[in-house]
Structure formats: C-alpha cells, structure tokens
C-alpha cells in the first residue's frame, strides 16, 4: 500500500530528526519490514470480537537486550516458545495487552517475524493510591507502534505520538507547539511564569482533558478585560495559582508543588467537559469556565488563516471550513482578542492551537503532547 509506505517514510524522517537519542538496541527495522508489520496490524485492526476492536502496542527490542532492565517500573516476560507474528496470533493475544501498560515484543531479525514476549509497566503503589499518575508517561521510552483502532496506527516514542496513520492519511504530530512556535511566544508574553511551571500545568490539563474524550476549548487571554466584549463567561470563579508560595516550605517544597499542580490542573481539565470554554490568563490563573463567544460568525468577516505544518511552513490544502463551529469560533476569537491563544481538544483526543500574528490567525494542527 502506497499510504503505508508513505507512513513508514515519515516515521524514519521523524525518528532521524527527533531530539531524543535512541539507544543502539532501539534501531528501527528495515523499511520493508516495518511496512510489512504495519500491514499485518491493519489487518488485525478490523477483527472485532464482541463489538470490541483490538488495541495494543508492539516494539522491536531483541530478547537479549538489556535496555528494558533500565526501567525501574517495568518487567519483561518471555514466551517459552516464540509465536508467529500473524493476524490469528495477534487477535488471540490482543485481549491480554493493555496499551497503557504493555508492549508486545516482536523479533524481526529472521525471515519469519516472531512474538517473543511482553513488557509490562506499572506505577508505584503510592502513586496508584493517590491517583497522581493515571495518564502520561508510564511506559518505557522506546519506539513502538500503537494499534489504536480500525485502520489507525500511531508511531510513538513511549506514549508520545510522533506520526499517525488513520484511514489512509499520515500526519506528523509536533511536540514543540507550546515551546517553539508563535503560540509559545504568545503564552510567554506578559507572563511571569517560568517555562517549566507553565508546561507542568498546561500539559497536565491537556493530558487529562484529552483523556475524557469529551472535547473542549481553552482560551488563554492577557486578562478578563481584554476579552470582555467578545466573551460571556457563565461560571466566573477567579482563582489564582501562586507558584511562588511553595518555596517557603523547605525540603517538602517539591512534593507540595507536585500535588498542587496535579490538583489544580485536574480541576481545570474537568471544567473543559462543560459546554463552553475554560478561560485562563497568561499566568494560568482561572478566570472562569463555560465561556461563550459573542462574535457573530455568520456576519463577521472571515479571518485570514495560515495553517502551519510540522516544518513551520504554511500548508496550502487546509481551509477555514474544514472543521466545525468550535474551530471557527476559535479562529474568530483569536482574530478579535489581541494576545489570545485558543486550544481545541477534539473528542478523539487530538489537539489544535491557534493565535494571531502579523494580521493572520496561525493554526497549528496535529499537536502532540510530549511526555510529562
């Protein structure tokens, strides 16, 4: 399939340019091997059982490799006899494979590919009890293919998606939207937060909100006055989140900050499930939620849009009306409110972000969240 061949090509380009250094044991299989594995996974993806479709991860670590022993909270079990890598075996094994906690180990070194074992990851008991780690980076940081559903495969590093194949389309998911783009520059403008503090809260909000599969909007504005004429906030509950206070707590400061970030970010993430936008200022203080734009989209002049690809160049095949009213409301909001950033979370967990620069609303599609 030409589409899968393109998918594999993008994977290689992405891994080669990825900032993370992959260990020697993590070298990708040859392109034709990776293409063959992807085609097998796609065949399995359509094999529903009791209305459930298979979903699991595979990786390509050799059975003699010591790399998985480096991860404290994971262990590997090896089958006494290797299994054939085919649709029948994968369909049988799929119910035992939790994509949030395990990798299926595939040996592609021979003429016939083999299933050799399972790597199981887990969180420490304290974090399970406190429910502080229930999304994000539990998986060892190695390259893997994640079969998400019918016709959909993500190429990942740990749990962070690099490239997505879905229904014949390939998308590179960028992880630098909130660190190296115009969106990142706008979030820094007028904020006293450090980069580390901002990302701790923002990524946690987005991880949790995407997990809810409800969809949502986040408007980040300079202050309430800047958007007063364009936004009605149904639930106003101004709540400051002071990062500086934890430093007075001595040796317990890091633990206190971690719990404060988790509690605050999870609260805000839950607010995204309510119809309307979650509204924050540039220091990520809560202004309110249930925000509704007062901009008449039908009568307003369409903003000039620029869709930015992974190479930071404009993508010419995307349009204003490619998405629904939620996206259009964000485009108009950023066009009218100087200094605003809008983040759109779709029901399938994908994230988009936009802001205005040089008279154009810049739209960053295919946003991936790096590991926390």
CA 105 to CA 107: how far, in whole Å? 7
Assign residue 223 the CATH number of its domain: 3.40.1700.10
Residue 129 has pLDDT above 50, yes or no: no
pTM: 0.75
CA 197 to CA 191: how far, in whole Å? 11
In the prediction, which pLDDT does 168 show? Answer: 80
Same-domain check for residues 165 and 181 = no
Residue 364 has pLDDT above 80, yes or no: yes
Same-domain check for residues 142 and 7 = yes
Domain boundary among 172, 189, 210: 172
Give residue-wise pLDDT tens across range 33-90: 999 999 999 999 999 887 789 999 999 877 666 666 666 667 888 899 999 999 999 9
Question: What are the CA-CA distances from residue 42 to residues 88, 113, 158 (Å)?
Answer: 13, 16, 20
Assign residue 152 the CATH number of its domain: 3.40.1700
* Higher-confidence position of 38 and 13: 38
* Higher-confidence position of 50 and 184: 184
Same-domain check for residues 153 and 74 = yes
Same-domain check for residues 29 and 161 = yes
Same-domain check for residues 212 and 323 = yes
Identify whether 372 is part of a domain: no
Report for 116-120, 221-225, 311-315: range of highest mean pLDDT = 221-225
Domain boundary among 152, 172, 192: 172
Identify whether 26 is part of a domain: yes
In the prediction, which pLDDT does 230 show? Answer: 92
Which structural domain range is residue 167 located in? Answer: 2-172
Same-domain check for residues 232 and 109 = no
CB 39 within 8 A of CB 32: no
Question: What are the CA-CA distances from residue 101 to residues 96, 330, 358 (Å)?
Answer: 11, 35, 45
CA 283 to CA 233: how far, in whole Å? 18
| Predicted confidence band of residue 260 (pLDDT cuts 50, 70, 90) | confident
In the prediction, which pLDDT does 66 show? Answer: 63
In the prediction, which pLDDT does 136 show? Answer: 44
- State the total domains in the chain: 2
Same-domain check for residues 105 and 235 = no
Same-domain check for residues 6 and 135 = yes
Same-domain check for residues 309 and 214 = yes
């Amino acid at each position: 399939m030409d589409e899968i061949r393109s998918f594999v090509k993008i994977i290689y380009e992405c891994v080669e340019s990825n900032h993370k250094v992959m260990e020697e044991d993590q070298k990708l299989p040859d392109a034709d091997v990776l293409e063959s594995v992807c085609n097998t996974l796609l065949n399995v993806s359509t094999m529903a059982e009791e209305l459930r479709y298979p979903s699991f991860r595979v990786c390509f670590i050799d059975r003699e490799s010591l790399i998985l022993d480096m991860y404290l909270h994971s262990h590997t079990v090896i089958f006494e006899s290797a299994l054939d890598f085919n649709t029948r075996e994968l369909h049988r094994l799929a119910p035992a494979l939790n994509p949030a906690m395990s990798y299926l180990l595939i040996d592609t070194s021979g003429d016939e590919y083999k299933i050799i074992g399972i790597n199981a990851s887990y969180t420490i008991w304290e974090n399970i009890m406190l429910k502080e780690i229930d999304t994000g980076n539990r998986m060892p940081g190695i390259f893997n293919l994640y079969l998400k559903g019918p016709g959909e495969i993500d190429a990942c590093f740990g749990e962070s998606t690099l490239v997505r194949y879905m229904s014949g389309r390939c998308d590179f998911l960028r992880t630098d939207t909130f660190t190296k783009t115009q969106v990142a520059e706008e979030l820094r403008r007028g904020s006293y937060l450090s980069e580390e503090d901002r990302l701790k809260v923002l990524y946690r909000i987005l991880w949790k909100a995407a997990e809810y599969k409800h969809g949502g909007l986040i408007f980040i504005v300079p202050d309430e006055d800047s958007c007063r004429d364009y936004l009605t906030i149904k639930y106003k509950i101004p709540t400051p989140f002071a990062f500086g206070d934890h430093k007075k707590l001595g040796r317990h400061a890091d633990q206190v900050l971690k719990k404060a970030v988790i509690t605050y970010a999870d609260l805000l993430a839950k607010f995204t499930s309510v119809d309307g936008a979650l509204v924050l200022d540039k220091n990520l203080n809560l202004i309110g939620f249930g925000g509704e734009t007062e901009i008449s989209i039908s009568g307003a002049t369409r903003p000039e849009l620029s869709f930015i690809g992974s190479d930071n160049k404009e993508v010419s095949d995307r349009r204003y009306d490619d998405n629904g009213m939620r996206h259009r409301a964000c485009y108009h909001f950023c066009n009218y409110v100087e200094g605003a950033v809008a983040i759109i979370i779709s029901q399938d967990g994908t994230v988009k972000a936009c802001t205005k620069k040089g008279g154009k609303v810049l739209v960053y599609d295919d946003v991936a969240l790096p590991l926390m």
